[in-house]
Amino acid sequence: MLFSQNELDNIKREMTKLKDNISLKLFTDFKTQEDGSKLRKCMACEGTYELLKTLEDVSAGKLSIEEYSTEENEEDAKKYDIARIPAILFVDEEGKVVIKYSATPAGAELAPFLKSLQYFSGVSPYYKDQIVSHLKKISKSKMKMFITKTCPYCPATVPVANLFSIVSKGKVSVEIIDVDANPDI
């Protein structure tokens, strides 16, 4: 079990705040076995898959996870410019990537991830009007946020950047990158 019962209850409470149905794309390295099961070599991929499936299970049908293999779905991996796995994509109705996680949203990063799911599902942020007015002054841009599991500031900063991306409808796109999981950066 990934979470204690208390943690799971808190996660369920947060997942009930999702407004509309949403879908995330997860890219891993799975290979489909003869029996139909999926074998993932990447340990972080397995953990990320389990985490997202848990969120899907407690979402009362509001969250769905679509898993793609960088090996079996090469065209999709190219389409979404997947260079690192696991990769979690928040893709809008037009097929545009709004947020990309090259990280596993675990530990202190889980709460900001849940908040981002809520905003992505249509929950209106308190400061939306102010954000929209300031975003009009910004040209199209891509942000890369480098996080670590031990950084005390990352959990507060990530949802703000994600919110800008969601409210801007992709004018500002964000990639969250776990430096510890991607030391070659």
Paired with 10 in beta bridges are: none
Residue type, 94: E
- Average pLDDT score over residue span 74-80: 94
pLDDT digits (tens, 9 = 90+) for 136-163: 888 999 999 999 989 999 899 999 899 9
What pLDDT shows up at residue 1? 54
> Does 183 fall in a domain?
no
> Does 172 fall in a domain?
yes
> Does 112 fall in a domain?
yes
> Does 132 fall in a domain?
yes
> Does 184 fall in a domain?
no
Q: Which helix (H) or strand (E) holds 66?
A: strand 63-69
169 or 6, which is more confident: 6
State both tokens at 26.
Answer: 């997860």
- Average pLDDT score over residue span 17-35: 93
Domain that holds residue 43: 5-178
- Average pLDDT score over residue span 161-185: 89
- Average pLDDT score over residue span 46-62: 95
Q: Which of 83, 92, 72, 75 is nearest to 25 (CA)?
A: 92
> How many structural domains comprise the chain?
1
User: What's phi and psi for 163, nearest 5 deg?
Assistant: -60, -45
CATH number of the domain residue 160 falls in? 3.40.30.80
> Does 90 fall in a domain?
yes
Lowest-confidence pick of 123-127, 151-155, 164-168: 123-127
122-158 core/surface letters (b: 16 or more CB in 10 A; e: else): eeebeeeeebeeeeeeeeeeeeebbbebeeeebbeeb
Question: Parallel, antiparallel, or unpaired for β 31-32 and 172-178?
Answer: unpaired
